Amino acid sequence: MINYGTKIDQKWQKKWEETGLYNFDENSDKPKLYALEMFSYPSGNKLHAGHWFNYGPVDSWARMKRMQGYNVFQPMGFDAFGLPAENYAIKTGVHPKDSTEKNIETMEKQLKAMGAMFNWDHEVVTCRPEYYKWTQWVFLKLFEKGLAYRKKAPVNWCPSCNTVLANEQVVDGCCERCSTEVTKKDLTQWFLKITDYAEELLNNLDSLDWPEKTKAMQKHWIGKSTGAEVTFKVDNSSLSFDVFTTRVDTLFGVTYVVLAPENPLVNELTLKEHKDEVEEYKKAAKKQSDIERQSITREKTGVFTGSYAVNPINNKKVPIWVGDYVLSTYGTGAVMAVPSHDERDFAFATKYDLKIVKVIEGGTTLPYTEYGTLVNSDEFNGLKSEEGKEAIVEKLEKMNLGSKKTNYRLRDWLVSRQRYWGAPIPIIHCEKCGEVPVPQNQLPVELPYDVEFAPDGKSPLAKCESFINTTCPVCGGKAKREADTLDTFVCSSWYFLRYVDNLNSEKAFDSEKVNKMLPVDMYVGGPEHACMHLLYARFVTKALRDMGYLNFDEPFTSLRHQGLILGPDGQKMSKSKGNTISPDEYIEEFGSDVFRMYLMFGFAYSEGGAWSDEAIKAIAKFVEKIERTLELSRNRITSKENIKTSIDKEEKELNYARHYAVKSVTEDSLKFQFNTSIARLMEFTSSLYKYSNEKTINPQLLKDTIVDFIKILSPFAPHFCEEQWELLGMNFSIFNEKWPEFDPLALVKDEVEIAIQINGKIKSRINIASNLKDEEIKIHALEDEKVKEALVGKDVKKVIVIKGRLVNIVAK
Ligand code: ANZ
Ligand code: ZN
């Protein structure tokens, strides 16, 4: 009889649900454990192998934690707003709300078939008004604190999605979603002031148990850089401008300055005879993306404005150029150029025949970009770079022409989207009162259903008269609603808070409840979220903390990333390549446990790899072997024949296998090393099988051992193990049992197995006490029956003992 598969799955899933086994008890006095997997996007493609790889192993981990005495909270929900549903609607005419709700229904069923301990009564769905009401509330709180603002700015525009993109959504100059090349557009947009938290977002990274690579990516994205701002006056003019430099020690080497083409000063500075050329250059620069402009390999270009600036440290006049390698969005949009010590400046100066003055002694060739000793720098000559920086800034400060300055690469988060399927931004524009927040008692600002959402670059909501026209909450006059919707990353920047208190209709969440349950103890999801979701969630947490709603600094204490499951051909799964694996068919055939165990055994969790049908079949065979073994063990335990009460060599071996497995499965699973955990369970199964076939057995020991065996297997094969637990005559549920602990003494082997070779070929194996001396081992080896037989007619020339493992006999 086969005791795994969908039938067993359903039996136990039903029982778990009926008995409310996994219901979260917020009043439990056990320590809390918040295990969270990144929620899914409800797509028409249903759950794929990647979802299972994300959710299954984490559920196993959480089950182990539950058995170790934790009060586990493991909620699930849907990140339901966003472009795919809208694009699907444009293609098929099915309204995003309808397709999304339908997809959620299917995916909920699939997720339930997984048999995870999800707390479904805490589910959140971000596109439902009862959720986005509070997303709007979060936005308004940020607005109140000056952390949400509107400004006209050159923004990233995807001409195919017809919407703006956050910097984080531009990958190598292309739209993260559709890979179309991103252009720049001047638009008035909403931003969240994540930059206010740049320093804390950077500093707290060190305290997090996160993958180092992810921390490094965030660090780089935040991009802290310490230097100085230096003021250059424009010669023969009252104008001046600041430059940001990380190398103020090279100030004497400045031979020209460069302004970004977008810098508003350019118009004022450019002399008549240079106007045409500069205008043309500006136009051309507009077409380039920031990424292209920063490319190291691209030839540096620029034009001269005709004006000069004065270097504050030595009063030398230097020409002012316009060049697109200077970005308007970084620092001050102006740089002091030091061709002798900067690659880009060197290339530029060489091309346009500008002066090059060496001011740092160190290397043999120019540009020399390392630190060194100052030369050609008047009173600062002889100082080391670091000292030079300090001394020069000090002098600039005295003249009021410079100071230390820290810059960040991080930009404010652009959150408005000109699309339909998102949470409306809860702001009303009044001619008299300006931007007026929608009062809290009028939330949610509901997303209207009947809207023409085909994208034409304008917000679909702007065309919906009944939505857009309203009255001003302050003066009662005619006003218009904000027509843009929020980036879906705003919805997901706080969902982990709402899970705890998802039914609250008075508040986004009860602070006391949330402070008790958070931070999330273990967060698991894809690494692609390093500089988006994970950064945004940290920012919103800190902002809400500063408003007094939360008492913790970081949302996710520990973070793990799952790897990617590839198609059988080793390629990324995709419909067009025809290499996708649909879990459903495998679940139908093997059930959830085999599928999950295959994923856990077949791949290193953080790495993933190529799918293999053979390997999943091997796991099914393994489960069958376990089943046979346990059946045999049960029969031996209940049979009154061939039993003993003593603890002999066989019992010691079994006991060793048991405690070794408990130890390694516990330790490896904690480290998310599920593949080695299952390998240990395989070894344990073999030991059990061997013992169950012994002539005489110790029934008590065997029973204790299979109790532990089923327990440590249960997180990996939850349905199967409930069944086996029942067959053993134990009480429901195994998941209320305590996780076994290992006995270190059982792991001290007092006997070891030694292989005996004759002329390099293994002839026999013997068990001997582990503390024997080499001479004693030799005697045991030579006395072995098989060895004696093999040595008949031969002379022993030499016996070599290799410590505790092997005896090699050389004989002729
Ligand atoms: C003079 C200098 C001399 C520089 C030298 C470097 C080496 P990070 O580390 O990324 O902060 N810079 C400043 N603003 C810029 C902008 N808007 N667009 C392009 N480049 C800009 O880099 C800071 C350095 O990048 C600054 O230091 C400035 O060049 C340049 F031997 O100033 B440096
Ligand atoms: Zn008004």
Q: Are 186 and 231 in contact (CB under 8 A)?
A: no
CA 188 to centroid of ligand 1, rounded, Å: 28
Task: Please list, in sequence order, all residues whose beta carbon lies within 8 angstroms of the beta carbon of residue 648, skipping any fewer than 6 positions away.
Answer: none
Residue 103 and residue 51: Cα distance in Å, rounded? 15
**Nearest Cα residue to atom 2 of ligand 1:** 247
pLDDT of residue 284: 87
Q: Indicate which ligand has the atom closest to the C-alpha of 428.
A: 2
CA 244 to centroid of ligand 1, rounded, Å: 7
Q: Are 307 and 243 in contact (CB under 8 A)?
A: no
pLDDT tens sequence across 694-750: 999 999 999 999 999 999 999 999 999 999 999 999 999 999 999 999 988 888 877
pLDDT tens sequence across 515-532: 999 999 999 999 888 889
Residue 373 and residue 249: Cα distance in Å, rounded? 9
Residue 249 and residue 386: Cα distance in Å, rounded? 8
Residues with pLDDT less than 70, the chain: 1-2, 168, 291, 804
Q: What would the two tokens of residue 450 be?
A: 């009947």
Q: What are phi and psi of 802, to 5 degrees?
A: -105, 110
pLDDT of residue 166: 73
**H or E, element range at 72:** strand 71-73
Residue 725 and residue 634: Cα distance in Å, rounded? 11
pTM, entire model: 0.86
Residue 563 and residue 578: Cα distance in Å, rounded? 21
CA 336 to centroid of ligand 1, rounded, Å: 8
CA trace torsion 162, 166, 169, 175 (10° rounding): 30
Q: How far apart are the first and last CA of the chain?
A: 55
CA 348 to centroid of ligand 1, rounded, Å: 14
pLDDT of residue 101: 94
The pairing of beta strand 608-610 with beta strand 564-566: parallel
Judge residue 12's burial from the number of C-beta atoms within 10 Å of its C-beta, 0-12 exposed, 13-18 middle, 19 or more buried: buried
CA 152 to centroid of ligand 2, rounded, Å: 22
Pocket residue to mutate for ligand 1, from 242, 244, 325, most atoms within 8 A of Cβ: 244
Judge residue 19's burial from the number of C-beta atoms within 10 Å of its C-beta, 0-12 exposed, 13-18 middle, 19 or more buried: exposed
Ligand 1: residues whose CB is within 6 Å? 225, 244-247, 250, 260, 326-327, 330-331, 333, 335-336, 338, 341-342, 407
Q: Output Rg (C-alpha) for the chain, integer angstroms.
A: 35
**Nearest Cα residue to atom 14 of ligand 1:** 331
Dihedral over Cα of 660, 661, 667, 672: its sign = positive
CA 335 to centroid of ligand 1, rounded, Å: 6
Residue 810 and residue 21: Cα distance in Å, rounded? 64
**H or E, element range at 561:** strand 559-561
- Which of 10, 11, 78, 161 shows the shortest CA–CA distance to 726? 11
**Nearest Cα residue to atom 19 of ligand 1:** 326
Q: What would the two tokens of residue 722 be?
A: 């409930």
Using left for φ > 0, alpha for ψ between -120 and 50, and beta otherwise, residue 353 falls in left
Q: Which residue has the tokens 């002889």?
A: 382
Q: What would the two tokens of residue 111 be?
A: 């997720």
pLDDT tens sequence across 42-68: 887 778 888 899 999 999 999 999 999
Q: What would the two tokens of residue 545 be?
A: 């903390």
pLDDT of residue 161: 82
**What distances in angstroms separate CA 268 from CA 233, 242, 562, one per listed residue?**
13, 15, 54
Judge residue 151's burial from the number of C-beta atoms within 10 Å of its C-beta, 0-12 exposed, 13-18 middle, 19 or more buried: exposed
Q: What are phi and psi of 31, to 5 degrees?
A: -65, 140
Q: Are 581 and 602 in contact (CB under 8 A)?
A: no
Q: Are 492 and 539 in contact (CB under 8 A)?
A: no
Pocket residue to mutate for ligand 1, from 220, 224, 243, 245, most atoms within 8 A of Cβ: 245
What size, in residues, is the chain? 812
Q: Indicate which ligand has the atom closest to the C-alpha of 434.
A: 2
Task: Please list, in sequence order, all residues whose beta carbon lies within 8 angstroms of the beta carbon of residue 238, skipping any fewer than 6 positions away.
Answer: none
* Residue 173 CB coordination number (10 Å): 16
Q: What would the two tokens of residue 368 be?
A: 């020399």
Task: Please list, in sequence order, all residues whose beta carbon lies within 8 angstroms of the beta carbon of residue 811, skipping any fewer than 6 positions away.
Answer: 758, 759, 791, 794, 795, 796, 797
pLDDT of residue 1: 56
